[in-house]
Structure 1
Amino acid sequence: MADYKEWSGYCPAVDIYSSYAEEKDTVFLDSSLKNMYGNYSIIGIHPYLRIEDRNGELFVNGVPQKGTLTGYISDYLLHHEEENPTALPLLSGAVGYLTYDFGMRSLKLSSRHPKIVDIPEALFIFYEHFIIEDKKNRKIYLAAAGCLNNGEDSLAALEKDLQERLNCRTHTLLQPEIAQKGPCICSDFEKEEYLEAINKVINYIVEGDIYITNMTRQIRVESQVQPYEVFLRLHRNNPAPFSGYLNYGDFKMVCSSPERLLKLTAGIAETRPIKGTRKRGGNPAEDNALRAELLHSAKDRSELLMIVDLERNDLNKVCVPGSVEVPQLFEVEAYATVFHLVATITGKLKEGVTSMDLLTAMFPGGSITGAPKRRAMEIIDELEHSRRGIYTGSIGYLSLDNSCDFNIVIRTAVYKDGTYHLGVGGGITCESDLEFEFEETEQKAKALLEAMK
Structure 2
Amino acid sequence: MKTKIKQLSFYKDPEEIFYPYREEQYAVFLDSSLENDQGRYSIIGVNPYLILSQENGQCTVNGTADARPLEEVLDHYLEAFEEENQTELPLVSGAVGYLSYDFGRRFEHVLSCHQKETGVPEAVFVFYDNLIIADQRERKLYLTAREENRSAEDVFREMERTARESFSLRKPQRQQRIADFVPDFQKQEYEKAVKKMISYIEEGDIYIANMTQQLRIPGKGQCYDVFHYLRTHNPSPFGAYMNYGDFQVICASPERFLKVTDKTAVTRPIKGTRRRGRNRAEDVQLRQELLDSEKDRSELLMIVDLERNDLNCICEPGTVKVPEHCTVEEYATVFHLVSTVKGKLREGTNVQELLKAMFPGGSVTGAPKIHAMEIIDRLERSQRGLYTGSIGYVSLNGDCDFNIVIRTAVYQDGMYRLGVGGGITWESDPKFEYEETMQKAKAVLEAVAAAEGRQDL
Shorter-chain TM-score bucket reads over 0.9
Please state if 1:132 is matched with 2:153: no
Instruction: Give the equivalent residue in structure 2 for 1:107.
Output: 108
When the two chains are superposed, the root-mean-square deviation of aligned CA atoms in Å is: 1.8
Equivalent in 296, 301, 305 of residue 301 of structure 2: 305
Residue by residue over 1:209-265, the C-alpha shift from the partner in whole angstroms, topping out at 9 and shown as x without a partner, is 100000000000013460101001111000000000000000000000000000000
| C-alpha separation in 1, matches of 2:182 and 2:201 | 30
Return 98-107 or 238-247, whichever deviates more.
98-107
Question: Aligned letter for 1:34?
Answer: E
**In structure 2, C-alpha distance between the alignment counterparts of 1:349 and 1:280, rounded to whole Å:** 38
Distance 1:186 1:429 in 2: 27
Q: TM-score, normalised by structure 1?
A: 0.95
Equivalent residues in 2 for 1:12-23, closer than 5 Å: 12-23=13-24
- Partner of residue 116, structure 1: 117
The answer to whether the 8 Å contact 2:221/2:411 transfers is no
- Residue 258 (structure 2) aligns with: 262
For 1:135 and 1:167, locate their aligned partners in 2 and report how far apart those are by CA, in whole Å.
Answer: 17
Confirm or deny that 1:273 pairs with 2:269: yes
SS of corresponding position for 1:109: coil
Q: Which residue of 2 aligns with 1:232?
A: 228
Q: Is 1:318 matched with 2:314?
A: yes
- Aligned mates of 2:352, 2:138 — CA distance in 1: 30
Count of aligned residue pairs for this structure pair? 447
Aligned residues of 1:320 and 1:349 also touching (Cα < 8 A): yes
Residue 380 in 1 paired to residue 376 in 2? Answer: yes
1:359 is matched with 355
Give the letter aligned to residue 261 of structure 2: T
The Cα of 1:79 is off from its aligned counterpart by 2.9
Residue 177 of structure 1: CA displacement? 13
- Cα offset, 1:55, TM superposition: 0.8
Q: What is the letter of the counterpart of residue 71 of structure 2?
A: T
**Cα separation, 2, equivalents of 1:178 and 1:241:** 20
Q: Distance in 2 between matches of 1:32 and 1:175?
A: 14
Instruction: Say whether 1:162 aligns with 2:159.
Output: yes
User: 2:324 maps to which residue?
Assistant: 328
One-letter code of the match for 1:65? D
Distance of aligned partners of 1:30 and 1:328 in 2 relative to their CA distance in 1, 3 Å threshold: same
Does structure 1 retain, via aligned residues, the 8 Å contact 2:258–2:268?
yes
- Does the CA-based 8 Å contact 1:49-1:61 persist in structure 2? yes
Q: What's the counterpart of residue 425 of structure 1?
A: 421
Q: Deviations over 1:19-53 (max 9, x none)?
A: 10011000000000010101000000000111111
Describe the SS at the equivalent of 1:452.
Answer: helix
Deviations 1:98-156 (A, max 9, x none): 0000011221121111112211101100001100000001100111133444xxx22x2
Question: Are 2:36 and 1:35 aligned?
Answer: yes
Q: Matches of 1:313 and 1:166 in 2, distance apart?
A: 45
Q: Which 10-residue stretch deviates more, 15-24 or 4-13? A: 4-13
- The one of 289, 293, 300 equivalent to 1:293 is 289
Letter in structure 2 aligned against 1:145: R
AA aligned opposite 2:426? C
SS in 2 for 1:451: helix
**Residue pair 1:262, 1:359 contacting (<8 A) in 2 also:** no
- Write out aligned runs for 1:191-210 (5 A): 191-210=187-206
> Following TM superposition, by how much is the alpha carbon of 1:185 offset from its aligned partner in structure 2, in angstroms?
1.1
Letter in 1 for 2:7: E
CA shift at 1:284, angstroms? Answer: 1.3
SS, match of residue 349 in structure 2:
coil
Q: For residues 182 and 323 of structure 1, what CA distance do their matches in structure 2 show?
A: 46
Distance (Å, rounded) in 2 between the aligned partners of 1:8 and 1:345: 38
- The more displaced of 225-234 and 272-281 is 225-234
Contact 1:44 1:95 in 2 (8 A): yes
Shift of 1:168: 4.8
Q: CA–CA distance in 1 between the matches of 2:247 and 2:311?
A: 33
Superposed displacement of residue 317, structure 1: 1.1
On the 8 A contact 1:275/1:342 being kept in 2, the answer is yes
Q: Residue 20 of structure 2: SS of its match in structure 1?
A: coil
Write the deviation string for residues 57-97 of structure 1: whole angstroms up to 9, x where unpaired: 11001000121111111122223221111110011000000
Residue identity opposite 1:258 in structure 2: P
CA contact under 8 A between 1:269 and 1:346: conserved in structure 2?
Answer: yes
Q: CA deviation at 1:277?
A: 0.3
- TM (norm. structure 2) is 0.95
Q: CA–CA distance in 1 between the matches of 2:105 and 2:193?
A: 20
Change (3 A) 1:188 1:38: same
Which of 217, 223, 232 is residue 221 of structure 1 equivalent to?
A: 217
Where does the alignment leave 5 or more consecutive residues of structure 2 unmatched?
A: 450-457
Whether contact under 8 Å (2:179, 2:446) holds in the other structure is no
**Unpaired stretches in structure 1, ≥5 consecutive residues:** none
1:322-364 CA-partner distances (Å, limit 9, x unpaired): 1100001111000000000000000001111123431332100
What's the offset of the Cα at 1:3? Answer: 1.1
Give the AA of the match of 2:40.
N
Equivalent residue of 1:50, what SS?
strand
Measure the CA separation in 1 of the matches of 2:286 and 2:115.
39
Q: Secondary structure at the match of 2:92?
A: coil
What residue identity is the alignment partner of 1:161? E
Query: Which residue among 343, 347, 350 is the counterpart of 2:339?
Result: 343
On the 8 A contact 1:13/1:41 being kept in 2, the answer is: yes
Residue 19 of structure 1: SS of its match in structure 2?
Answer: helix
Q: 1:416 aligns with which of 392, 412, 416?
A: 412
- The alpha-carbon deviation at position 163 of structure 1 amounts to 3.2
Q: Secondary structure at the match of 1:323?
A: coil
1:251 and 2:279 correspond: no
CA distance in 2 between counterparts of 1:256 and 1:444 reads 11
Matches within 5 A, 1:438-449: 438-449=434-445
Does the residue aligned with 1:18 lie in a helix, a strand or coil? helix
